[in-house]
A and B are shown apart, each in its own frame.
Chain A
């Protein structure tokens, strides 16, 4: 039985989320199959990346602020949070989270008469997302904290001279400046968070019914065909495209954050390597 490429895309295009053909191809692997399935897996990389970054952004802001607090009861926990997530490998964090979530009682927990189901937390879509969310929050918090510290003194004095204090000063001057200064580094963080999503299905979280991410399927093909020279370059190709899209989108935000500045003093985004976390 051989399928045309269009049929293959219909059968496997959404395979990673359980829609379409149930059985993965076992023999006669075509280039089209590899492109389609690996591309289908990319849905999960996007899911993890977009949601972790989206939620992580808010937590990162809160933690960056907490790190600047005078009160040690606020500052210390934030410092420890950042230290733990930045000082240990993400790979170990995944394993640890999975083993911890597995230990939750299978039947669920009853808190104050409310029944909370726990089984879903060990699934990658929830458990791995939680780890990625906390991880990116820690890395981004450090970036934003550094940016907060490097706001030019003159900007703050000017704000005070205009009578801006407290919350108003923060929301109108400090926060936008922090974002502007931290944005190039934050762009790199976003890129490498997307890269980090490929670790999910290699770190304890099982892929149920062979529903996995792009690297999961690439690995499947490499195992089945004993030929790494086709699937891995395909997944690499997809990620280069993804990196370009992320760079473009964050570049647009960067341009907006810098719009009030003369063109020669704007901060530029440079892709800097930051491999595994």
Chain B
């Protein structure tokens, strides 16, 4: 990267450290933090949307829709989530390729043959000859969908509880004013439920942060992948030979997560305060008294 780094074997001390930390592989490592943040930025709203739909479905007056919502909420209870992660990534991949094979493959064979999953070359996603970046992106996309499905179920559970926590009297008053079911839902229920949902959602956000290293298991080149790659001992054949430094890399990741969760905790605390304004809860009452 820098001119001084042209011959890493000749330099030492601080210059060596600087060159080492700005090597191409390290830049990839720093970018993988962006991957993690991108996953969070995409997954959080997606899971919120999934959860909102799940909770709304679970409250529905149409029985099949209600069952669907309840099954979705109950799905992730009692089963370790990592199983869902490992399962969905393959299942989604095969499902997508199977659907595509129906459209593009001649014949239309059942793809699960004995010990193989076989679809014609045209049905592969992404196609076998596409550049590696597409494979990376596709893997990331599968991971995002998997996270959204699993976390959506947890969000649905929280929102379902929050919707039930909104005082009945509020909804009845709205009905007495002649609002329709949709209007009560939109104008009264949804705006008021957030304060009840916030503790649960905040908790889920922390859990989501702590779930991001699982990207590694889903085959995405994330921070865990690079920490293992870069930290492993390098012989003289490498530009920057060093011993086994994985401990230090993982220590770095640990600090990253600790700072991240701590900052989130403070942020959630502030948000709770803001949302408590004017609410008929203990928190809202405390704020009112403090102001008076």
Asked if A202 and B217 make an inter-chain contact with CB atoms under 8 angstroms apart, the answer reads yes
- Enumerate chain B residues within 8 angstroms of A199, measured Cβ to Cβ: 82
Distance A225 CA – B254 CA, assembled complex (angstroms): 36
- Quick one: closest A residue to B247, CB to CB? A99
CB B222 to nearest CB in A, in angstroms, measures 11
Does B107 lie at the interface of the complex (its beta carbon under 8 Å from any beta carbon of A)?
no
- Enumerate chain A residues within 8 angstroms of B231, measured Cβ to Cβ: 99
Counting chain B CB atoms within 10 Å of each CB, which of A87, A196, A225 scores highest?
Answer: A87
Q: Using an 8 Å CB-CB cutoff, how does the interface string of A242-274 with B read, 1 for contact, 0 for none? A: 011000000000000000000000000001011
Does B211 lie at the interface of the complex (its beta carbon under 8 Å from any beta carbon of A)?
yes
By DSSP majority rule, is chain A's interface helix, strand, loop, or mixed?
helix
Asked if A226 and B157 make an inter-chain contact with CB atoms under 8 angstroms apart, the answer reads no
- Quick one: closest B residue to A237, CB to CB? B79
Does A31 lie at the interface of the complex (its beta carbon under 8 Å from any beta carbon of B)?
no
Asked if B258 and A232 make an inter-chain contact with CB atoms under 8 angstroms apart, the answer reads no
For B, the interface residue count at a CB cutoff of 8 angstroms equals 46
Q: Contacts A87-B257, A228-B91, A275-B76 known; A99 to B117 CB distance under 8 Å?
A: no
Asked if B81 and A276 make an inter-chain contact with CB atoms under 8 angstroms apart, the answer reads yes
Does A37 lie at the interface of the complex (its beta carbon under 8 Å from any beta carbon of B)?
no
Q: Contacts A83-B258, A92-B250, A219-B86 known; A273 to B210 CB distance under 8 Å?
A: no
| Interface residue from A228, A274, A277 paired with B87 (Cβ < 8 Å) | A228
Q: Tell me the chain A residues, 84-100 only, with Cβ under 8 Å from chain B.
A: 84, 87-93, 95-96, 99-100
Q: How many A-B residue pairs have CB under 8 A?
A: 130
Q: Contacts A232-B86, A275-B150 known; A96 to B78 CB distance under 8 Å?
A: no
- Quick one: closest A residue to B257, CB to CB? A88
By DSSP majority rule, is chain B's interface helix, strand, loop, or mixed?
helix
Distance A93 CA – B227 CA, assembled complex (angstroms): 13
| Interface residue from A83, A226, A275 paired with B81 (Cβ < 8 Å) | A275
Asked if A276 and B115 make an inter-chain contact with CB atoms under 8 angstroms apart, the answer reads no
- Enumerate chain B residues within 8 angstroms of A181, measured Cβ to Cβ: none
Does A236 lie at the interface of the complex (its beta carbon under 8 Å from any beta carbon of B)?
yes
CB A17 to nearest CB in B, in angstroms, measures 21
CB A255 to nearest CB in B, in angstroms, measures 21
Does A2 lie at the interface of the complex (its beta carbon under 8 Å from any beta carbon of B)?
no
Q: Using an 8 Å CB-CB cutoff, how does the interface string of B60-79 with A read, 1 for contact, 0 for none? A: 00000000000000001111
Does B55 lie at the interface of the complex (its beta carbon under 8 Å from any beta carbon of A)?
no
For A, the interface residue count at a CB cutoff of 8 angstroms equals 47
Q: Using an 8 Å CB-CB cutoff, how does the interface string of B75-114 with A read, 1 for contact, 0 for none? A: 0111111110011001100100000000000000000100
Distance A128 CA – B251 CA, assembled complex (angstroms): 17
Q: Using an 8 Å CB-CB cutoff, how does the interface string of B207-228 with A read, 1 for contact, 0 for none? A: 1011111101100000010011
- Enumerate chain B residues within 8 angstroms of A87, measured Cβ to Cβ: 257-258, 261-262
CB A136 to nearest CB in B, in angstroms, measures 15
Does B52 lie at the interface of the complex (its beta carbon under 8 Å from any beta carbon of A)?
no
Q: List residues of chain B with CB under 8 Å of any chain A CB.
A: 76-83, 86-87, 90-91, 94, 112, 115-117, 150-151, 154, 157, 203, 207, 209-214, 216-217, 224, 227-228, 231, 244, 246-247, 250-251, 253-254, 257-258, 261-262
Q: List residues of chain A with CB under 8 Å of any chain B CB.
A: 27, 29, 83-84, 87-93, 95-96, 99-100, 102-103, 191, 194-196, 198-199, 202, 215, 218-219, 222, 224-229, 232, 235-236, 239-240, 243-244, 271, 273-277
Extra contacts besides A219-B86, A275-B211 (16): CB < 8 Å: A89-B213, A91-B213, A93-B254, A95-B227, A96-B247, A100-B247, A198-B82, A198-B83, A226-B94, A227-B117, A236-B83, A239-B80, A275-B76, A275-B81, A276-B214, A277-B207
**Can you report 26 residue pairs joining A to B where beta carbons are below 8 Å apart?**
A88-B257, A89-B212, A90-B210, A91-B216, A93-B254, A95-B228, A96-B254, A99-B247, A103-B244, A198-B80, A215-B86, A218-B83, A225-B115, A226-B117, A227-B112, A228-B90, A232-B83, A243-B78, A243-B79, A273-B154, A274-B207, A275-B151, A275-B207, A276-B210, A276-B211, A276-B214
